[in-house]
Structure 1
């Protein structure tokens, strides 16, 4: 599937987590090599998507400098990334009805691949799948994936009525394409969860000459 024929796709950066392993605060606002993680995520996704939004809870003003629409969860209790994905699907349906697909990515992954959207769409189309997720190093990364906007009502039912929280339990209900990226010289889905991870990310940023 040539890049020019890819379906229009809205990107959502999921930054709604509570960052308990870093003592609270916003993980995407931590700096790596003089740039915040969120800056790096935006730089990777912007060329691949037909617009970006940010899913985050609390005061949206703290993200004002990034120029993205901040869309909070509308399912109470911080139920996890599925709530952020649902918020993005609902926002897209209401504000960008011409777009049928949303790409989600974690806000703490500074080295996302530049062919993320293209390869996920190619695999989804090839396998006639409803959803597509990324993988590396024998591990799936279900928070990084393609979501059909038309499934938002089913996702809301799963979250609100069934109290479903795990992404892989949700994706197991549908035909799913999984796309694997190489993890060398660096894993493009490395995520900065802890203070120690920030130190490792500094080392990896030096390897990632085009970041």
Structure 2
């Protein structure tokens, strides 16, 4: 009885959820739906307890144990008790195998995607540009003997140029979006290069020289 009532309650709640989409019925659906939820939740708990009790009376451990037996095609609780471990172990092994296969498919897809990206200049250099910018910029700043000032923007990044080295193992990012002040207070635009290791995800070397990039 509780199971039937909880099913009706859930169906009613879903109906009210649909009515919430319409302005004219929104208020009615909210309050009656809330009341239905308050009534349905205890009924669902009672229904679950009743289903478990019925399964135990039939000779099973609980409702889930009974469903497992049905999945195995066994209706006799005594027979199921003898073969339970075997079936559960088998299903667990199958589940682990499926998870392993799914994980391998994911790994293969990622490798294939990375291999394709590696052959595309824009894809490969863009892939590491954010990490390289974060790691390289502070080291470029350390080259300043006095004050420095960045002039990059969203449309003009710190490292607008790049050069791929060693078949993609490293990338040299280049830019000139910084000015450094000398000891006399004069500002000079500086060109900087940063060698970024794509495997280790770390800076290899930084070079800073006076003058802007040659356009």
Q: TM-score, normalised by structure 1?
A: 0.23
TM-score for the superposition, normalised by structure 2: 0.23
Structure with more relative contact order (C-alpha pairs < 8 Å, separation 6 or more)? 1
| Max Rg structure | 2
